[in-house]
Amino acid sequence: MKSAPNLEDYATTYRSFSWNSVRRELDWFNHHINAAYNAIDRHTSTWRKNKVALYWHGEDDSRKKFTFEELSIASNKFGNILKDFGVSRGDRVFLFLPRVPDLFFAFLGTIKIGAIAGTLFSAFQEQALLDRLANSDAKVLVTNSELKKRVDKVRKKLPGLAHIITVDTDDYKKSFNHASAELSIAHMDPDDYAFMLYTSGTTGKPKGVVHTHRAILQEYMTARWVLDLKDEDVYWCTADPGWVTGIAYEILGSWACGVSAVIYEGRFDPKKWYEILESYKVTVWYTAPTAIRMLMVTDSNLLKKYDLSNLRHLCSVGEPLNPEAIKWSKKVIGLPFHDNWWQTETGAICIANYPSMKIKPGSMGKPIPGLTAAIVDDHGNEVGPNKEGNIALKPPWPSMMKTIWRRPLKYKSYFINGLYISGDRGMRDKDGYFWFIGRADDVIKTSGERVGPFEVESALVAHPAVVEAGVIGKPDPLRGEIIKAFVVLEKSQKPSEKLKNELSLYVKKHLAGHAYPREIEFIDKLPKTRSGKIMRRILKAKEMGLPIGDTSTLEEY
């Protein structure tokens, strides 16, 4: 039987909700808290003690599972190992590992002793590692023998890095086995730092965003409201903890709900992904538009081979979700993807489509209860409905970043007129739904009109010949900028001038006369971050023959 969504009535909850009411749902030590304790350990004094928290699926198809109690013990042991190394509150412990169980033990154990956990995506190369480990002045790095080789190459330049823990060595395994399973949990001020990580680098040099223990309040509530997590769910978030989605909704918020989570170590692969959805009987699935677009163009017969009937709720984040993707999932899975918007800096979901609310395809939905969002001009004044402006949030909210590590001025630069300015442009319609237009830097000004790349890309993606598109403004003496589209075609399609014209006309017809791409270039692959976001700044720099800037998060392409 289908049970009611956790957030049954958005409008009423939005009007009456206060964050104080969440306090009671989490465990406090007087006025202190520990985020990792709330994610894992508090369940061990309930019936969830022996419930599976983690179904781990290796790249080689090996399987392991861990109960909440087992995760509690493993992370206690890791906390004790850190203490033996002299790690104390506030020290930075960085994790450079693939999605293996040790990564989760280490993240939780670090936070439990009051140190600051930092994550590094396992594909980072030397320069990316050096930048992040030097900026954060990490004291400990946790890695494996393979990845350690990259760190060794830059170690000399990291005088603050006192210890490297290599989790696949016999020495480490021995010390893990001998470590005490008992740990006294650090009682933290809600404003104390819990974790930090660097942004995706889509628009420029990644920023070291720092989050507090208090963030768990919003991570937990949004996992309930937006992901709709319930005790009977099997939940799969495909993100990597090197990015904020993997921290907030693969570790902290989702486990705070007591859910059984699947974690797959391997990379994106349509067949593998469908196998995982089927064999673990996944009910709630949280993924990203880039993966959805890739699934949309894989042979539709593949999907038909799998039983995905346990799925009941689908969510997407990280990039604008093309309406075509929602159409697709409704058709082939029988469920729409629910888009939601947030940033590394916001620490948790801020604007979302809820299971109980009507979806307007292409819209990010409405702000979560307990948060005020607005569309404002560059001075922080609200603009009216259907007008383009900055997507802004009213501070504070529980998971708001505490600072940008060692860049106080950068932190300050986010705020105008008492509002947090996200750097994204959007608009709000008369019904209160928010629509994403583009990153502030990506919005195109053509013949006096402003055009968001997302709508042009979505119009192109709706054409059957197109897999993906990246759209930029190209300087033009006459029009200021013209719209240029880089288009990836379906395998069976042959690039031709005729097809270019057809695509231009298609956008003209389906979107707007002024918003069609005057120039189209077919390319094999779009430049993307390792978290799957289209890097329009690289398309633009290449087009204009300019330096391409920080490429530490660029996927090989």
Rounded to the nearest whole angstrom, what is the least distance from the CB of residue 438 to ligand ATP in the complex? 8
- The smaller minimum CB distance to Mg ion, of residues 75 and 531, is found at 531
Rounded to the nearest whole angstrom, what is the least distance from the CB of residue 344 to ligand ATP in the complex? 3
Rounded to the nearest whole angstrom, what is the least distance from the CB of residue 343 to Mg ion in the complex? 5
Count of residues binding Mg ion (CB under 5 A)?
A: 1
Q: Which does 532 bind (CB under 5 to 8 A by kind): Mg ion, ligand ATP, none?
A: none
Burial of 268 (0-12, 13-18, 19+ CB in 10 A): middle
Judged by the rule CB under 6 A, the positions of this chain that interact with ligand ATP are 199-204, 206, 243-244, 317-320, 339-341, 343-344, 364, 422-424, 436, 439, 533
Rounded to the nearest whole angstrom, what is the least distance from the CB of residue 471 to ligand ATP in the complex? 14
Q: Specify the DSSP element, H or E, that contains 521.
A: strand 519-522
Strand order in the sheet with 140-143: 163-166, 140-143, 92-95, 116-119, 193-198, 208-212, 403-404
Q: How many CB atoms lie within 10 A of CB 131?
A: 18
- The smaller minimum CB distance to Mg ion, of residues 67 and 340, is found at 340
Segment 196 to 215, residues that bind Mg ion, using CB under 5 A: 199
Residues 256/220, Cβ–Cβ less than 8 Å: yes
Residues 207/109, Cβ–Cβ less than 8 Å: no
- The smaller minimum CB distance to ligand ATP, of residues 185 and 210, is found at 210
Q: Which does 364 bind (CB under 5 to 8 A by kind): ligand ATP, Mg ion, none?
A: ligand ATP
Of the candidate spans 180-188, 194-202, 283-291, 373-381, the one that interacts with Mg ion by CB under 5 A turns out to be 194-202
Rounded to the nearest whole angstrom, what is the least distance from the CB of residue 243 to ligand ATP in the complex? 6
DSSP designation for 191: T
Rounded to the nearest whole angstrom, what is the least distance from the CB of residue 367 to ligand ATP in the complex? 13
DSSP designation for 395: S
Handedness of CA 386, 390, 396, 399 (dihedral sign): positive
- The smaller minimum CB distance to ligand ATP, of residues 353 and 504, is found at 353
Rounded to the nearest whole angstrom, what is the least distance from the CB of residue 202 to Mg ion in the complex? 6
| Close Cβ partners of 409 (under 8 Å, ≥ 6 residues apart) | none
Question: Closest CB to Mg ion belongs to which residue?
Answer: 199
- The smaller minimum CB distance to Mg ion, of residues 199 and 446, is found at 199
Query: Residue 266's Cα: distance from chain center in Å?
Result: 17
Examine residue 396 and say whether the peptide bond preceding it is cis (omega within 30 degrees of 0): yes
Residue 69: what are its φ and ψ, rounded to 5°?
Answer: -65, -40
SS (HEC) of 328-354: HHHHHCCCCEEEEECCCCCCCCCEECC
Q: Which does 339 bind (CB under 5 to 8 A by kind): Mg ion, ligand ATP, none?
A: ligand ATP
- The smaller minimum CB distance to ligand ATP, of residues 413 and 447, is found at 413
- The smaller minimum CB distance to ligand ATP, of residues 59 and 388, is found at 388
Q: Which residues bind Mg ion (CB under 5 A)?
A: 199
